[in-house]
Amino acid sequence: MSKSVKFKFENLNYQDEAVDSIVSLFSDVDKTIDNSVYYGTINAIREKLQGEIVDRRNIQISNGKKLRDNLRKIQSKNGLILNDEVETDNNTLTFTIEMETGTGKTYVYLKTILELYKKYDGKFKKFIIVVPTVPIRMGVEKSVKMLKEHFKKETKKGIDISKHIIIYDSKLKDVAESVRRKFIDSQDLSILVMNTQAFNKDTNILRNTDHEKNTENISVWDEIRQLHPVVIIDEPQKFDGGKNSKKRTSSLSAIDEIQPTFTLRYSATHNEIINPTYKLDSYAAYRDKLVKRIKVKTVNKLVPTDFPYIRYLEFTKDFYAKIEIFHSEKGKEITKKTFKVRQDSNGNIFELSGDLPQYRNFRIAENPFKGKSLKIETKGRLVEINEGDCLSPFSEKENVRIQMKIAIQSHLEQQFNLLESGQNIKALSLFFIDRVSKVRGEDGEDGEYLKIFDSVYNEVISDPTYNKIFEEYPDYFKEYKDTKKVRQGYFAIDKKKGSTIVKEIEGWNEDGNDSSISLKAKDKEYIERGIELILEKKDELISFEEPLAFIFSHSALREGWDNPNVFTLCTLKNSSNSIAKKQEIGRGLRLPVDTEGNRCKDESLNVLTVVANDSYDHFSEKLQQSYDEESGFNKDEVTNDVINIVFKKAGIPIEKITSELTTAFRNELRENGLIDKNDILKKDAEEKFSEIQFKNETLKEHSANIKKEFVNQMKSKGSKKINIENGDLTPVKNKMQSYVKEADFKRLLKGINERLAQKTIYKININKDNFIEDCIKEINNTLYCKEISNIVEHSEGMHYIDENNKAKFEKATEFITEEVVENIQVKSDFEIINYIMAGTELPRMTISKVLKGIKNRKVLNSQDYLDDVMIMIKEIFIRHQVKDKISYELLNGYKFDSKTIFSIDEINATELNDPKIITYKANSLKRKAINEYYKFDNEKELEFAQSLENDPNILLFTKIKKGGFVILTPYGNYSPDWAVVYKNNYGKAEIYFIVETKFDKKEADLSEVEKFKIHCGKEHFKVVSKNSEDYVKFDWANSYEQFKEESSKVKVMQ
């Protein structure tokens, strides 16, 4: 038995934000208990059978003004479109959470359950997690086992979530009674996990009213109804019928029957968005390095450039065929290029190629048609190419062999890089295949693909280039030569009872052509062991004691399974099939885990390599398109997150940035013809926007900055994309310049390091009495005449049991709206003080004095008002810090790590060839830049670096990576931009200059926060520069000319 790796979990901000977005929805919302006739009937039966009645129901939520306000507040905070009202889905409150694959969706909804139970004192105690397939259900079960110790520490009561989970398995004996006993009758937190096939038919055990163990023909499903469980739907797009479906699916209809208190939908690719509450899309996940980077390697790189290569990429909307061919311009190297062709337009392929000889006499024979092959004439012969296919020197079998070789080589290269970097991480590779029979033969013997794999694998591991990993790390790969142990597959077909595998997999369609496969007994041990490792024991699979590293699968692993240590994904599809979809890519996106259970966050190592039988350009374009379509991203849509950023950058005070202002801005754009009814920019929007005259007073006041920032943000959004790297290009290794190791440069580098490494803390003498007085005054002004109230909707109706013993509801009146005063739970002073202390880190006595001075104390029982007061106190505290004199002191014995200070930008070959990404290759002959390559945010930074390199007085410089070196300030951490060593005009004095660049800004244009942070930078370096030998100058500059002017003022005696 292999050693199991124990995963370690940490609190991640984005996951906590996702949890809080749901938990805070119901703060101060009216909550009631349903006293229906149906519930009374169920209890009467239970009293008769059990002799007691215990209330096990969830409370119900009022869909009123308070819930709407909470939702809008959360949506505004999360940059989402604001609801006018809280929508329902077939009369059920429903909220949508979008989280990119690999970012911990299961973790988030399990923690959400615990937080709802904890915060609302057990009033939410019945939960059902609904999943579309058994593998996803098994994944949830595995997550619970792995997370139970982590959640124990997270909850004050030390809740062991594994003791509150019921996994529904229809094969278990007396499963219906088990649900009654463990879920329905439990008075404690109860979580039922089930796949849709368990309840979406009337014949299911749970919904069968004639089951022998039912009482008075009341099914388990009917009994669950009276609990009003909270339903969590994992991957709802799998059973909601699709975007264009008009008919409600049987699964959703069955969920409707149990009348959930509310429903939470979790997915990365929703078909329908109802009450969006939290969103972490693909772009944010890649931007924030929450998932692996994607690199694509293709078979195409091996096609000789003198071969008449033609790939039919796709049939376009304007009735052209898009093809890829070799192309050359005179005097330049041969590259691949795409063209749109028809017989009557661009039909001469020889001319398109730049007269490359291999294409002589190649022409488009007839105009292309959707769904038909592209016909090409050459020397009287007709060649037909299917969409997605190509004219290639390789046969289909050779293509598979090449793909496998690239995948195995990439796997071993990545494994070696991980170990050489000091990371004990075991790499895995995943192969998606087009037909199961190509892996499993009719008699269960190895299929064609496994035979090819074994041959290629043995060839690669015999190559000294790749064999070195096994020689250098023999203890890690003791059985690497045993191909049956290093590779295994899992398919829906493995459920066949006729085979030696009896594992039941519900909800998967099987390929009829493969249904006759029966596995031989001699293969049983290998295959069953592989399936168990793949599906149920991911913690053993990533141990080096387990030799299995290469996994083959059909569609069975596309959703519901992932493993953080998948580094290579190979799609062995027929050329007529579509390229790998986003869900397939998602199997390898999670950040990897080492053998101690720690997540690896090294960006240089976190790379998923996709080996595709396609061209890089076409693959990346289609994958990008898939991300755009599935996330609903439109580069021309004016969304709330863009508007909020525009307002903040335009300098509008935070208290004025409200949903009303956002709506006013959008309305004015629409009135002036800049956006359409769907908030999409019109073609001439940029020209018209400069002429717009705002009516809203706040917009009018900040008009110039709003216009500037709006254009900038929409351009930035237009260039927003996921960087998919081209693995066919020669890799780029960014590193320090070789000359930095020379004595003079080493001394200069040491000088920069010594000045930046020193840590400081700031001290401010705040007048405590004035601070408390200001807090009391502003809070009382804000809370004056405030009341806790809510608008709730009441409906009247009657529940009854029909002649078939089914519960029914008959509406008796229409909904009415009335204003009520909520019955809010009273918070003690101790609770309020603790809450504000946690949010502000201020002393208890100070908060206590503020609380005593608040006149309208009762409104602090409302969580909304309490949150507002906490934020006010924080803001007042910052104002007092900024107002009073700030000073810095050295933290002796504490220094920044030089590796962090001089952290090097990760740059790949794709970025160097992308004109939209600003990269800079330093001139090694100038001998001034510390690193070979830099990545910049804008053209101004590039110009600044070029000026530094061309300045004869500059001795050494580097761009400081954000977070590598920070100065503490009341406004948070502050990172300057540049470190420069130069000799001034007065001699050979070496001056160390730390520069903050604010390009094209005058001092009057700087915000108060920017000015204060620059002031903090000066005070920090004053302390660092107490000794003349440690002298360092700090200032800001809006151009290179200003930097030169400031540097020339510095005089240092030698």
Rounded mean pLDDT of 969-991? 80
704-726 pLDDT per residue, tens = 888 888 888 887 777 667 888 88
pLDDT above 60: residue 1046: yes
At residue 261, the pLDDT reads 94
DSSP label at residue 237: G
pLDDT above 90: residue 232: yes
Q: What are phi and psi of 886, to 5 degrees?
A: -105, 140
Lowest mean pLDDT among 35-44, 329-338, 908-917: 35-44
At residue 591, the pLDDT reads 93
- Pair of tokens at residue 117: 């139970």
This prediction's pTM: 0.75
Q: Is 321 exposed, middle or buried (0-12, 13-18, 19+ CB in 10 A)?
A: buried
CA distance 764 to 882: 9
DSSP label at residue 290: -
At residue 988, the pLDDT reads 56
Rounded mean pLDDT of 496-512? 33
At residue 499, the pLDDT reads 34
At residue 563, the pLDDT reads 84
637-694 pLDDT per residue, tens = 888 778 877 887 888 876 677 778 888 998 989 988 888 888 888 877 777 787 889 9
pLDDT above 70: residue 47: no
Any bridge partners for residue 972, and if so which? 969
Q: What Å distances lie between residue 29 and 70, 847, 1039, CA to CA?
A: 9, 27, 54
Q: Judge whether 303 and 393 are in contact, CB under 8 Å.
A: yes
Model confidence band, residue 451 (pLDDT cutoffs 50, 70, 90): very high
pLDDT above 80: residue 36: no
Task: Assign 771 to helix, strand or coil.
Answer: helix
Task: Assign 217 to helix, strand or coil.
Answer: coil
Model confidence band, residue 71 (pLDDT cutoffs 50, 70, 90): very high
Model confidence band, residue 529 (pLDDT cutoffs 50, 70, 90): low
At residue 531, the pLDDT reads 54
pLDDT above 50: residue 493: no
pLDDT above 60: residue 951: yes
At residue 688, the pLDDT reads 79
Rounded mean pLDDT of 288-305? 89
Q: In 3D, which of 384, 430, 439 has the Cα closest to residue 403? A: 430
- Comparing 556 with 175, which gets the higher pLDDT? 175
At residue 555, the pLDDT reads 56
At residue 577, the pLDDT reads 39
837-893 pLDDT per residue, tens = 988 889 999 999 999 999 988 888 888 788 889 999 988 998 888 877 889 999 888
CA distance 496 to 440: 13
Model confidence band, residue 927 (pLDDT cutoffs 50, 70, 90): very high
Model confidence band, residue 354 (pLDDT cutoffs 50, 70, 90): very high
Q: Which amino acid is at 994?
A: I
pLDDT above 70: residue 298: yes
Cβ atoms within 10 Å of 276's Cβ, excluding its own: 21
At residue 244, the pLDDT reads 64
At residue 708, the pLDDT reads 85
Rounded mean pLDDT of 771-794? 76
pLDDT above 50: residue 795: no
Instruction: List, in order of start, the domains of the chain with CATH numbers.
Output: 16-280 (3.40.50.300), 304-391 (no CATH), 396-631 (3.40.50), 640-718 (no CATH), 738-761+889-1048 (3.40.1350), 767-802+821-883 (no CATH)
Helix axes 640-649, 703-718, angle to 10 degrees: 130
Cβ atoms within 10 Å of 823's Cβ, excluding its own: 9
- Comparing 675 with 630, which gets the higher pLDDT? 675
535-594 pLDDT per residue, tens = 667 778 899 999 999 988 865 455 556 789 999 999 886 544 344 466 678 778 899 999
pLDDT above 50: residue 520: no
- Pair of tokens at residue 926: 């100038």
The mean pLDDT of the chain is: 82
At residue 503, the pLDDT reads 33
Beta pairing class for 230-234 and 263-267 = parallel
At residue 50, the pLDDT reads 53
- Comparing 1049 with 89, which gets the higher pLDDT? 89
Any bridge partners for residue 550, and if so which? 429, 487
Task: Give the start-end residues of each E strand in 318-394.
Answer: 321-327, 335-341, 362-364, 374-378, 381-385, 390-391
SS3 content of the chain, % helix, strand, coil (to 5): 40, 20, 40
At residue 1033, the pLDDT reads 87
How does DSSP assign 11-64, residue by residue?
--HHHHHHHHHHHGGGTT--EE----HHHHHHHHHHHHHHS-----PPPEE--S
HSE value, Cβ hemisphere, 13 Å, CA-based, for 863: 15
Rounded mean pLDDT of 86-114? 93
Rounded mean pLDDT of 1028-1052? 79
- Comparing 992 with 385, which gets the higher pLDDT? 385
pLDDT above 70: residue 836: yes
CA distance 224 to 250: 17
Complete edge-to-edge strand list for the sheet that includes strand 978-983: 954-959, 978-983, 990-997, 1032-1037
CA distance 864 to 85: 19
Rounded mean pLDDT of 526-532? 53
Q: Judge whether 660 and 761 are in contact, CB under 8 Å.
A: no
pLDDT above 80: residue 506: no
Model confidence band, residue 928 (pLDDT cutoffs 50, 70, 90): very high
Task: Assign 1035 to helix, strand or coil.
Answer: strand
pLDDT above 60: residue 508: no
Q: Judge whether 572 and 433 are in contact, CB under 8 Å.
A: yes
At residue 242, the pLDDT reads 67
Residue 85: which residues within 8 A CB-CB, separation 6 or more?
A: 68
Task: Assign 689 to helix, strand or coil.
Answer: helix
Q: What are phi and psi of 240, to 5 degrees?
A: -100, 5
